[in-house]
Structure 1
Amino acid sequence: MQRKAYVPGVAALLAALLAGCTGGSGDGGPTDDANPGDAGTASPAAEPGRYRTLPEPCDAPGQSTLDELLPGIRQISDPDQREKAYEGEATLTYDTDRKVGCRWKVDSQDATDHLLIDFERVVSYDNAVSDDTQAEQLFAEKEAAAHLPEPTATESAVSGSTPAGGASDAPSDSPSPSGSSSPSASASAAPTELRPRVLEDLGDEAFLDDELSSSGSTAKQRTVTVAFRTSNVIVTIEYAEQPAAIGVVPDSQEMQDRAQKLASQLADSLSD
């Protein structure tokens, strides 16, 4: 008799447990699967950038390139000092996975030359924004900060860029009579093909800036900047020269050609 009373009790308990696991609330309230329609509708994460690492900037230019950009380096008589000059000096950075750079400074009998190479790998922390899109936005801000002059009608009709290593019979720009060092003053004095401008056929987008400083009674320093973006990496080259003699103006065409040639080499190395 006890056995017959026990079995129905167990069956009732099991039925209650099963009802609690599979049944919903009687008043139509939420269950464990409260939003079944949302399953599989999350937006996919944006594509990561092409580059996950950065090259070693101090090894980026070859010795022959440094000989061309920094003529005084071959005039260093001490072998150890010359070797140290070729090595350059790494710029301070707190995350070598995201930003690295190297700089060189070499004095010669005629001038002091400076070179800076900077690599920045852009990473977006917004799942809806790709690394490339984030890099494109940062590059646009960088170009806007350069205050490039408006392209002329001729530049708008064609590319507006000077091929690296190309020749031009136009003379370099000279300081304005007032001695102004503003970018607009320097740009307006420069021949059209040497003006600061957007460059074609270099990375995904690129520009060149050329500024001649006014240092009062001291020698004028010219700084040529070439910046370009390839996917999520932004590369910046700053090449500056200050002659030893007052009144001597660094040649714009020559410096632009050298900087663009280096930029092309760096772009090719990133593509490998």
Structure 2
Amino acid sequence: MKKGKILILGAGSIGSYLAAKFFHANYHVDVIGRKADRIGDRLYINNQAFDFPLTSSEINVQLTYDFIFLTCKVFDLKKNLHKLKERSPKSKIIILLQNCLFDISELERTYNQDLTSLLVYDGFNLIENRLKHTQGSGFLIGSDKHTESLLRLFKDSHIEIKKNENIQQHRIEKAIYNCVINIFSATHSKTIRELFADAEITEHMQNILYESHEVLSQEMEIAQDKEIMWDNLSRFASNLDHYASTYQDVRENKVTELAFLNGFIIDLGRKVGIATPLNIEAVDKFKRKYPNLY
């Protein structure tokens, strides 16, 4: 007997990883996403074979889902929340897995849905039906009424997850880290380790972190100062032999989330009256290389 019912909207690297792991743990899993059909009936995670659930093109409104995961890009988030509101599948909780900053309470009011969010600090790289999973700090969950059920689901599926009382602070810090890593990995076609091995790029990344930290700190409280954040990033990420998700997007000729990362910093800088020449320069360089993917 299946343990519970799960719907995953978005069959990219993280969505396919979760689908395979949940399915392997004997949950009923429905997957909807452009990449899902390419995976077929088996996904290889670090060369270990996992059966992959059947994919769907439409939401099954006859089922009551215990969990609905939205692993889509942030620019598709509202579209998919609208789709869920329109189709009205029965669900106990909707989980958002996006890197960028957003107001979850505003989304709950707009779409009349019960939402929570997760962060992920692992690396994922999907090519066809082969997924490279680079272990980091795993998934991170905040503290709300859904925490315990999600902890049980992930632990039952042998996925590393930790609880943190201030997930919004981690979301702010991770957004800054993504402003630093993602745009340079894509622009220079380098792994994170290769970025840190290049002294000139490393200096640019540090300056982007400092500039982004200064801008965000005008609107949000950031627990760690910029020097500590840079030190943490350098120690944690400098040996990661992994391409950032933005590089994976441009490799597949897909629009990136940079407008919601560095673009967000540039727009916020204009609002609070702080110049952001370094983020602007990095974005301009990316646009020259990939004019249609920003």
Q: TM-score range by the shorter chain?
A: under 0.3
Greater share of residues in helix? 2
TM-score w.r.t. length of structure 2: 0.23
Larger radius of gyration: 1
